[in-house]
Amino acid sequence: MSKKSTFLTFFAKVKIRGDALSKGKFYITTAIDYPSSNPHLGHAYEKLCADVLARWHRLLGKEVFFLTGTDEHGIKIMRAAEKANMSPQEFVDMQSEKFKELCKLWNISYDRFIRTTEAQHIKIAQEIFKKIYENGDIYLGKYVGKYCPDCETFYTEKDLVNGKCPVHNKPCEIVSEESYFFRLSKYKEKILEYLEKNELSIWPAGKKEEIRNRLKNGLLDLSVSRTSFDWGVPVPINPKHVQYVWVDALINYISGIDYPSERFKRFWPADVHLIGKDIVWHHTVIWWSLLMSANIELPKTVLVHGFIQTAGGEKMSKSKGNVIDPIELAKRYNVDAIRYYLIREIPFGEDGYFSEEKLIERNNTELANDLGNLVNRTLAMIERYFNSTIPSGSLDNALKEKLRLQAIMQHMQNFELHLALAEIMQFVKACNQYINEKEPWKKQGSELADIIYTLAESLRVIALLLHPFIPTSAERIANSLGIKITNFEDIFSGKGLAGNRIEKIGILFEKTKR
Ligand code: MSP
C-alpha cells in the first residue's frame, strides 16, 4: 500500500451516521444582534461557534451558507438613536459597522451579513406577513399588557419574576394599543408533535423539555404589530402599523437566502439556527408557527449555546460595567488564542466564565508549548536533517492509532465542539511524546526519515482538523508544509508530503503575560 493512501484508508474507515462526508448543503445562521449598543463577548462567542461549525462542514465538502447580521428595528433601537441624537437609520448604519468589524477581527467566515433595514428584507417581511394574513391567521384586536423593551418581548403576569422582566430584572412597560394578532394558539399541538417526532429539533434536550413544559401551560395569540412608534417594517395591509420586531427579525433567515429564489430552494430548511438560551421560545414556538402558517418547511435544528459570564460569575451588563469588548480583546490578543480558549474552555451548550488569566494560561501551555513546539521542532528537523525537504518514509502505526478521528467526527456531529478540540489536542501531545520517545536526533537513514515523514503527515492532519477552530494558525502550518487547506477529501486523497519544501514560519503563538 502506498504511503499516501495510508491516511486515506484510515480516514475512509470513518463513517458517522452515514452522512459525514456526503456532499450536500449546510445552512447555518446566528441570531441577528441588536445594534442598540456595541458588540459584547456574547455576540462574538455565538458567531465564533457558528463559524467553527460552518468551517467544519466546508471541510466535510458541503456547500455551506453562513448567515449573520443585525436586527435594526423596534423601540429599543429607536430610543438608543434618540439618545445618540441621530436618526434611527443613521444610528444603525453606524452601529452595524461595529458588528461587521467584529466579524472581520474574529475571522468569522460568513457568506452574508444581513441588515433588517435592507429594502429586500423589508419586502420579503411584508410578503410573509401578507401571506399569513391571507391564510386567515392574522386578525385585528387590542393589546393591553406588559412589554419589556430590552428584549422586545410581551409578557403575561405569569411570566414575570417578582413583577419584573425575567431576563432583564426590570419593570415592564404597560402597552395598550390597537394591534394585529397572529393565531399562535392554533399551532400548539403541531409544535408539540414536531418536538416529539424530531430528535434534533432543539439541542440540548433540556431546552426542548423547557419549551414543552411552557407550551403545556397554554399558548396565547401573539400581538404582531405596533402603532405607538414607526421604526419598523410597515404592515402591508395597514401602514398605520409596523410589524412586531421579532416577526420582522425571524424572517431574516429566509430573506437572507433570497426567499423564494433558487438559493432559497437550495439551502432551506436551515440545518442549524444557532442562538442563546434567552431566545429559544422565539425561535421555536413563534418561528415555527409563522412558518407553518406561511406553508414553509421547518428548520432542522435550533442549537442553543450557553451564556458567557465574567469570572466572578456575574451576568455581563452595561450597568455593572463588566461587559467585555470583543473588538478591544482581539486587538490585545492573538484572535486564534481567544477562539481556541473559548471553545476549549466552555462545554458547548453550557454557561461559562471568561477569564483573561485562563486565556493566557491556555495560550501559553496548549498553544505556545504543545502546538507551537511541535510545529517548530518538526520544521527545524526537516531543515536540519533533510535540507528543508520533507523526506519520504513510512507512517508509524502506533502514532497513527492515537489520532482518534472517529471520536472527533462524532463529537462534531453531536455539537460537542469542546470535546472534539480536546481530542485533537491529545493527538498534538501524542506527537510531542513521539518525538521525545523516538529521539530522532540519535537516528539516521530510513529510521530518521520515517520519524520525520510521520511527523510531517501528522502536522498536516492537525492543521486540517484545527482549521475550523484556529484558521489563521492552521493555514500557517499548512503553508509551512507546502499545502493548502481545502477539504478532507482533497487532503486525504492528495499526494503524500514527501518532496515538499518547507517554509519556516517563526513563532506560531507568542507567550503572553497580563
Ligand atoms: N435581536 C435578537 C435576536 C433576533 S434573531 C431573529 C437578540 N439580539 S441580542 O443582541 O440581544 O442577542 C443576540 C444573541 O446573543 C442571542 O442569541 C443571545 O442569546 C446572545 N447573547 C446575548 N448575551 C449573551 C451572553 N452573555 N453570552 C452568550 N450569548 C449571549 O436577541
What confidence score (pLDDT) does residue 167 get?
87
CA of 102 to the centre of ligand 1 (A): 15
241 an active-site residue?
Answer: no
**pLDDT tens per residue, range 442-490:** 999 999 999 999 999 999 999 999 999 999 999 999 999 999 998 887 7
What confidence score (pLDDT) does residue 16 get?
42
CA of 277 to the centre of ligand 1 (A): 8
Catalytic one of 3, 131, 168, 188:
168
What confidence score (pLDDT) does residue 86 get?
98
What confidence score (pLDDT) does residue 203 get?
96
What confidence score (pLDDT) does residue 118 get?
98
Alpha carbons within 13 angstroms on the beta-carbon side of residue 232 total 28
- Closest atom of ligand 1 to 275 CA is 17
Least Cα distance to 71 among 4, 117, 105 occurs for 117
What confidence score (pLDDT) does residue 315 get?
63
How high is the mean pLDDT of the chain?
93
40 an active-site residue?
Answer: yes
What confidence score (pLDDT) does residue 199 get?
84
Q: First and final CA of the chain: distance in angstroms?
A: 51
Ordered by where they begin, the domains of the chain are 8-15+356-491 (1.10.730.10)
Calculate the CA dihedral of residues 469, 472, 477, 480 and round it to 10 degrees: 160
CA of 29 to the centre of ligand 1 (A): 13
What confidence score (pLDDT) does residue 12 get?
52
Could you give the CA distance from residue 303 to residue 30 in angstroms, rounded to a whole number?
Answer: 10
CA of 226 to the centre of ligand 1 (A): 23
Testing ligand 1's pocket by substitution, the residue of 28, 29, 30, 34 carrying the most ligand atoms inside 8 A of its CB is 34
CA of 33 to the centre of ligand 1 (A): 6
Residues in contact with ligand 1 by the CB-under-6-Å rule are: 31-34, 42-43, 45-46, 71, 249-250, 252, 275-276, 278-279, 307-308, 316
Helices vs strands, H then E, count in the chain? 22, 14
103 an active-site residue?
Answer: no
Alpha carbons within 13 angstroms on the beta-carbon side of residue 340 total 29
Could you give the CA distance from residue 450 to residue 383 in angstroms, rounded to a whole number?
Answer: 15
What confidence score (pLDDT) does residue 514 get?
76
Testing ligand 1's pocket by substitution, the residue of 46, 255, 348 carrying the most ligand atoms inside 8 A of its CB is 46
User: What's CA 147's distance to the chain center, in Å?
Assistant: 29
Testing ligand 1's pocket by substitution, the residue of 40, 43, 343 carrying the most ligand atoms inside 8 A of its CB is 43
Q: Are 40 and 316 in contact (CB under 8 A)?
A: yes
Cell of 53: 461549525
- Closest atom of ligand 1 to 315 CA is 26
Closest residue by Cα to atom 20, ligand 1, is: 276
List, for the chain, all residue ranges whose pLDDT scores fall below the cut of 70: 1-22, 311-320, 491, 493-494
Model pTM above 0.85: yes
